[in-house]
Amino acid sequence: MTVQALKDVSRSTLGVLVSLAVVVAVWAAGLRVLDVSSFIGKGPLDVWAYLALDEDAAEHRAAALGNLQHTLADAALGFVCGLAVALVVAALFTLVRGVEDALMPLAMLLRSVPLVAMAPILILVFGRGTATVGAMGGIVVLFPALVTLVLGLRSASPAMLDVVGVFGGSRLAAFRKVALPASLPAFFTALRISIPGALTGALLAEWLATGQGIGYQIVSDVSRARYESVWASVVVVTLASLLLYGIVSALERLVLRRMGTAA
């Protein structure tokens, strides 16, 4: 790994640590300012004790990490489904005139209808298994990723597109040689945006459909007044989101620098 790559990784790590510090500070301050009951509102030290210091801390960690593993798998499914559809549709919007006018209203409809309201229909259509997880996660990811990718593909230099046309290149060749490389920054932005969206979709699917993972565990713990477990689940999924965001940011800097498009 080069020195510059190490700097990129260090910068991303520092960003994750700063974000974590801000979250912890806001968390602790929010409980104090809002005067939340200590029975319900658990602070950072309470969660640390629950996961690391209590007699049953090892069991608590195992349960939290097991649920997290399931939620990350569900989030990955929704992430891949939503991003894959966004990539295909964004390419169609760019290559085929008129497709955007036909499909964008459908995307807007999926975005405007609350997923909680749409969930019963998805469950009736797909059941309570993997297909519903992919559909719910994909819907959350699709629209923001689609808008970001379309803007990125259309940010290509008109002069470069004209050069490809002058030398006999087709519209597809211009898309492949100019538009796709120009859209790399937007692609990584879409990745960063999609990470929390995919996790949100997975949590909703687990709560409303599958009955597994952190999404269901939080609802179950709230009903049994196990608030330490609730806050611990929130903490581990937040940490996972921050870590994934930092990994994508580091990868973005490495790739864009190698492509010569880094700022």
The total of structural domains in the chain comes to 1
Q: For residue 79, with 0-12 CB atoms within 10 Å meaning exposed, 13-18 middle and 19 or more buried, which class applies?
A: buried
CATH number at residue 160: 1.10.3720.10
Residue of 74, 64, 111, 65 whose CA lies nearest to 201? 74
Domain range spanning residue 238? 3-259
Residue of 114, 75, 42 whose CA lies nearest to 194? 75
Question: What pLDDT sits at residue 1?
Answer: 55
State how far the Cα of 15 lies from the Cα of 23, in Å rounded to an integer: 12
Q: Higher confidence at residue 80 or residue 6?
A: 80
What is the chain's mean pLDDT, rounded?
A: 84
Question: What pLDDT sits at residue 230?
Answer: 92
Q: Which residues contact 63 (CB under 8 A, 6 or more apart)?
A: 217, 229
Please check the confidence at residue 75 and state whether its pLDDT lies above 90.
yes
State how far the Cα of 177 lies from the Cα of 188, in Å rounded to an integer: 18
Amino acid at 107: A
The winner for highest mean pLDDT among 112-116, 136-140, 164-168, 254-258 is 136-140
Convert the pLDDT of each residue in 205-226 to its tens digit. 998 888 888 999 999 998 888 9
Convert the pLDDT of each residue in 40-57 to its tens digit. 888 888 999 998 888 888
State how far the Cα of 217 lies from the Cα of 228, in Å rounded to an integer: 12
Please check the confidence at residue 199 and state whether its pLDDT lies above 50.
yes
CB 232, CB 3: distance < 8 Å: no
Q: Higher confidence at residue 159 or residue 76?
A: 76
CB 92, CB 99: distance < 8 Å: yes
Question: Tokens standing for 43?
Answer: 């602070």
